[in-house]
Structure 1
Amino acid sequence: MGIKHIRKAVGGDRPRGGARTAARRRAAAALLALPVAGALLLTGCGAGGGSNSSDGDKSGGRNLPLPAPAGPTGGADRADPSGAPEATPSSGNLSTFALDVDTASYGYARRTLAEGRVPDPATIRPEEFVNGFRQDYQRPDGNGFSVSVDGARTDDGRWSLVRVGLATRPADSERERPPAALTFVIDISGSMAEPGRLDLARESLDVMTDRLRDDDSVALVTFSDEAETVLPMTRLGGHRARVHRAIDGLEPTDSTNLGAGVRTGYATAVHGLREGATNRVVLISDGLANTGDTDADTILERISSARREHGITLFGVGVGSDYGDALMERLADKGDGHTTYVSDRDDAFTVFCDQLPQNIDLTARDAKAQVAFDPGTVEEFRLIGYDDRRVADQDFREDKVDGGEVGPGHTVTALYAVRTRPGASGHLATATVRWLDPDSRAPHEETGSLETGDLRDGVWSSPNSFQVTAVAAYFADALRSGDSRRRPLPGVPTLGELASRAGSLANVTEDKDVSALATAIGQARDLDICTGDCAVR
């Protein structure tokens, strides 16, 4: 999908929209997530500490609500059933969206490029590219968020890139966590019979069983042409042998009835619900539903009901060279959870050492962000990505409207293209994040702001983390070039220049994730992704 929703200083927002294109045929599914799953609940691998950078009052470590950003609200709830946001302006100087820490789009694009294939532009979500990298935002002292806002001018007229960075407290391996009640819903379709797939899953689940705490609980649901609860919610203390027997009995069978797997998984989770525990469904699949109920809305309704009534959230792990991106992402969205994509063992370690521990213990529910651009200094702006996470401006403080769930150690990045007015000087933007306490459901807010004088002179003379964010966004934009509705980002470099920038950043930062980004950009360049009148080459 391209970036279609353009705003002027009197331009508004578009609410959260529909689904993406349907999944493609199954080629192979790779169950790579579980080799390190045993460690995921024992330690957190989150980022380091920091202090709260906000100016808001505090009370007992909780952030008190702050005044709303200045400016009118606008926009109305709309949903495009095709999933494509419309380039339709509406009134207001606000941009409002639900927080999103998904990274599946970036992971799947890397896998596709490594195989010498061009990613489908419909699977490219820029926010999942920019959120695929560690950030150095300051961290709050307690629960809630810190808010950082910075920006840099591009070499394209009066356009700048403005970054809004949100961060939660660091994940703390020493902090006592609640017990975990995890329902693993695992694809055991025929392709899982290939060596290194289901056999590896069995071995990994055995290791996990031996390493979880006695007060943790595990349930196991499998699905192929039908779904089956092979292990109800079972407390590990005194019952590990029973869990091992269930794992050893896993065998591959036929096709993929994902709908049945999801319904049975949630029914199992509800039946084994534990008060005071983190109740979560972990879905591991390629997302290609080809048997039984394949209608996403019907499947989603079951997840939504379990979420509303029981607070069960979903963590989706996508696998396979062909991947049902649209369905897996919608499942996670409706399940108040997250989705990621695993292509190899390194990815699996990152997912289950870094990401899943952060998702076990929530720090914020229904989190939303709203950015107010000053019409005196800003002529035009647009949010890069978050196409299906938009929220109507007037619903920012409507806590019944769904937001995003965020755990400790997370950062969330939103990038804007902003054109300032000629000779503009003064206040540029105010960013506010609002969330509900996961236990009390009390609302809290935090805010940050940016002045025109704080804009750096150039993107490529900015701090390394800002440059990585820009490279990731430009790369995602290039991969969307096949979408005729796309509007290229300002100051766009060539893919060759992007690869060089990423390579230099990888050397300076010694960050393997940035090195992987440079490799992926080089692969896209070699595939000549951009052809015809494409703005990026």
Structure 2
Amino acid sequence: MNKPSSISKRVVLLCMGTLAVMGGGVTLFGNNLRKLTGASSEALAGNDVQYAPRLAKKSLRTFGSNEEEGNAYTYAPAPRGGPATAGSTHSAERPNPFTRASEDRLSTFAVDVDTASYTLFRRYVTQGHLPPPESIRVEEWVNYFRYRYPSPTDGDFRVDLEGAPSPYTRGRHLVKVGLQGRTIAKSQRKPTHLVFLVDTSGSMNAADKLPLAQKSMKLMVDGLNETDTVALVTYASGVRDVLPPTPASQRDTLFDAIDSLTAGGGTAMGNGLELAYRHAARNAHPRNVSRVVVLTDGDTNIGPRNPDSLLETIQGYVQEGVTLSTIGLGMGNYRDDLMERLANKGNGNSFYIDSEREARRVFQERLAGTLEVIAQDVKVQVEFDPTAVRGYRLVGYENRALADRDFRDDKVDAGEIGAGHTVTALYEVDLTGEGSRVATVRVRSKRPGGMEAAEQSFPLERASLHADLDEASSNLRFAAAVAGTADILRGAPEAREWSLATAESLAEESVDGQPDRAEFLGLLRQVREWRTSSVAASYPD
């Protein structure tokens, strides 16, 4: 086979970023690029769809499974990057398949406001690597960012629905389901009782581990009310009860205890969890917030090492109203999978802290949402009308999927929404061009500590869909940029023909002056440069 010429190489590079018509001198960016991909009013009417959709029947086995019989899934290799973190065991989830609405019209999942996967991505890129594809959880990328949804006027949250032609797949649409939680003023927060559980093992002896954990705890203490309390427990080769529950008003005492921590020894996480939860359970009450905050690099090598043992430790205390936040730090032996599972089991949230700036974001700017749950066991069920929808795919949320029958089973655990939190999910849908209602979105949740669930219903009418992506909100366009990037980098089969150039165009036009969005755009450009270089290297002159 002849070696590709330098002209061929340049054509490949152009296709990676822009589409150029060489003879006419036309370069397609922004709006023109989106129009080329089929974002048109004709697509909205379902008239110009010329493709063979890959539709599959959804099954319970599909969710949480890495392969199906006769259809093993493998991730696309990263074009650039170092090895996965040592000791890291990610649990890869098979991306949701495109599902025929005529065979299964219901899609059900628990909400998720974890953000660790995105922060890990940022850490990898700033260190010059792509993240392991199996560490990418699309919903955590999307939900890292703020979205300007209407505030609730009645109840704990409000649902914002929107749809527009997809910028990625010609003939398909994107539908956004956004939940906005009510905000709580500092003076209105419930009394909070925190137990910091700090990993002080030898592996925490690094600038981005224990010292960053200490800064994070101080930031959280600074945001507490004077009547709140803080206890401090550490674990290494053994467990140490450093400080009993102490009023947040005794700031010097708390800071001295935090500053006294040093790293050394093994990692008895299981034993530390047991002691921390016993402290927290003493103050558990529906009128209080009682939360364990674990700060660790995620490894555990002494004590109950089996993750199931750690999860069993948590289960009993969850029933008493104790919640959990896991705070990941550092690289090398970070167990992202374990931290996420612990947070999910503990009715809490999972964060990864890669800098003091991120610590301020989590523990100062969004402290109320980090600490106080306003709705628990929050489930979303989207019912697609087969008259209007041929098929659909939920982008992400694979490990938050629920059986459809569990939506109204209030004994089934689901996700939580903190004060002021937003939760966003995207569906890729294939419209038929018929029918007046695209879908009905139902949300079911309980008040914290409650047993009775309430349910709300929200229709998405065909007439309310945007005819062109340009008409959509910056929320939808930016979420599409983030979700598309994550789906591409994890090698999702449905995203094999998607383009990072399109994602970059969407992000550019929807930054809206928000620093976090601008930062994502910079990271995306770096990733595109690496991928372009990788393609160029595979076609040498």
Q: TM-score range by the shorter chain?
A: 0.7 to 0.9
Aligned to 1:214: 226
Distance 1:246 1:157, change over 3 A: closer
Name the counterpart of 1:528.
531
Question: For residues 328 and 354 of structure 1, what CA distance do their matches in structure 2 show?
Answer: 22
Give the equivalent residue in structure 2 for 1:167. 180
Indicate conservation of the 8 Å contact 2:98/2:393, yes or no: no
CA shift, 1:412, in A, is 0.8
Cα distance, 1:140 vs. partner? 1.4
Instruction: Measure, in 2, the Cα distance between the counterparts of 1:251 and 1:457.
Output: 59
The secondary structure found in structure 1 opposite 2:527 is helix
Q: SS in structure 1 opposite 2:359?
A: helix
AA aligned opposite 2:172: W
**SS where residue 132 of structure 1 aligns?**
coil
Alignment of structure 1 residues 368-407 onto 2, 5 Å: 368-407=379-418
Partner-residue secondary structure (3-state), 1:517: helix
Aligned to 1:501: 506
RMSD over aligned Cα, in angstroms?
3.1
Structure 1, unmatched stretches of 5+, are 1-5, 28-80, 533-537
- How many percent identity over aligned positions? 36
Count of aligned pairs between the two proteins: 462
Q: Aligned equivalents of 2:55 and 2:244: distance in 1? A: 51
Match of 2:316 in 1: 305
CA contact (8 A) 1:100 1:412 kept: yes
**How far, CA to CA, are the matches of 1:146 and 1:15 in structure 2?**
30
**Preserved CA contact (<8 Å) 1:184 1:218:** yes
Q: 2:104 aligns with which of 61, 84, 92?
A: 92
Match of residue 70 from structure 2: none
Matches within 5 A, 1:353-502: 353-421=364-432, 423-481=433-491, 486-489=492-495, 492=498, 494-502=499-507
User: Are 1:147 and 1:446, in contact at CA under 8 Å, matched by a contact in 2?
Assistant: no
Name whichever of 350-359 and 297-306 sits farther off: 350-359
User: What is the rounded CA distance, in whole Å, between the counterparts of 2:211 and 2:256 in structure 1?
Assistant: 14
Which amino acid counterpart does residue 108 of structure 1 have in structure 2? L
TM-score (norm 1): 0.78
Q: CA deviation at 1:211?
A: 6.6
- Taking the aligned partners of 1:511 and 1:93, their CA distance within structure 2 comes to 37
Match for residue 187 of structure 1 among 171, 177, 199: 199
Match for residue 123 of structure 1 among 117, 127, 135: 135
> For 1:11-58, what per-residue CA distance to the aligned partner results, in whole angstroms no more than 9, with x for missing partners?
56668647999x94369xxxxxxxxxxxxxxxxxxxxxxxxxxxxxxx
Superposed displacement of residue 329, structure 1: 0.3
Distance 1:109 1:224, change over 3 A: same
Q: Equivalents in 2 of 1:392, 1:207: separation in Å?
A: 40
On the 8 A contact 1:182/1:281 being kept in 2, the answer is yes
For residues 464-506 of structure 1, give each alpha carbon's deviation from its aligned partner in whole angstroms, at most 9, with x where no partner exists.
Answer: 111101000111011102xxxx2234982x2234234323433
Q: CA separation in 1, counterparts of 2:61 and 2:426? A: 16
User: Structure 2, unaligned stretches of length 5 or more?
Assistant: 1-53, 68-74, 76-83, 536-541
Distance in 1, Cα, partners of 2:253 & 2:146? 39
Q: Which has the higher mean CA deviation after the structures are superposed, 522-531 or 212-221? A: 522-531
**How far apart are 1:356 and its partner, in Å?**
3.2
Change (3 A) 1:364 1:209: closer
Offset, 1:345:
1.8
Aligned mate of 2:522, from 508, 519, 535: 519
Which has the larger Rg? Answer: 2
Q: Contact between 1:362 and 1:405, CA under 8 Å: does it hold in 2?
A: yes
Give the secondary-structure state (helix, strand or coil) at the position aligned to 1:171.
coil
Structure 1 residue corresponding to 2:86, chosen from 22, 25, 40: 25
| Residues 14 and 164 (structure 1), Cα distance of their counterparts in 2 relative to 1, 3 Å cut | farther
* Equivalent position amino acid for 1:123 in 2: S
Q: Deviations over 1:515-537 (max 9, x none)?
A: 111111112112218978xxxxx
Per the TM alignment, residue 177 of structure 1 is displaced from its structure 2 partner at its CA by: 1.6
Compute the TM-score of the two structures, normalised by the length of structure 2: 0.77
**Residue 178 (str. 1) matches residue 190 (str. 2):** yes
Distance 1:12 1:98, change over 3 A: same
Task: Go from structure 1 to structure 2 and tell me whether the alpha carbon gap of 1:307 and 1:497 turns closer, same or farther (over 3 Å shift).
Answer: same
| Structure 2: distance between partners of 1:377 and 1:188 | 56
Q: Measured at CA, do residues 501 and 399 of structure 1 come closer, stay the same or move farther in structure 2, by a change above 3 Å? A: same
CA contact (8 A) 2:363 2:370 kept: no
Whole-angstrom distance in 1 between the partners of 2:241 and 2:127: 35
Q: Call closer, same or farther: CA 1:373–1:528 in 2, change over 3 Å.
A: same
User: Which whole-Å CA distance do the structure 1 matches of 2:255 and 2:299 have between them?
Assistant: 29
In 2, Cα distance between the equivalents of 1:511 and 1:304?
39
Deviation at 1:163, TM superposition (A): 0.7
Counterparts of 1:100-249 in structure 2 under 5 Å? 100-154=112-166, 156-173=169-186, 175-195=187-207, 198-199=210-211, 201-202=213-214, 205=217, 212-236=224-248, 242-249=253-260
Distance of aligned partners of 1:257 and 1:19 in 2 relative to their CA distance in 1, 3 Å threshold:
farther
Kindly indicate whether the alpha-carbon contact (under 8 Å) linking 2:385 and 2:438 is maintained by their aligned counterparts in 1: yes
Instruction: Tell me the distance in 2 between the aligned counterparts of 1:292 and 1:282.
Output: 19
CA distance in 2, matches of 1:504, 1:466: 11
From 298, 301, 313, the counterpart of 1:287: 298
Q: In structure 2, what is the Cα distance between the partners aligned to 1:198 and 1:170?
A: 31
Name 1:75's counterpart in structure 2. Answer: none
Q: Amino acid of the residue matched to residue 518 of structure 1? A: L
- Rounded to whole Å, the distance in 2 between the matches of 1:274 and 1:253 is 36
Partner of residue 41, structure 1: none
- Between the aligned partners of 2:216 and 2:376, the Cα distance in structure 1 is 31
* C-alpha distance 148-439 of structure 1, shift in aligned 2 (>3 A): same
How much has 1:205 moved relative to structure 2? 4.9
The answer to whether the Cα contact below 8 Å between 1:154 and 1:490 also exists between their aligned partners in 2 is: no
Letter in 2 for 1:330: R
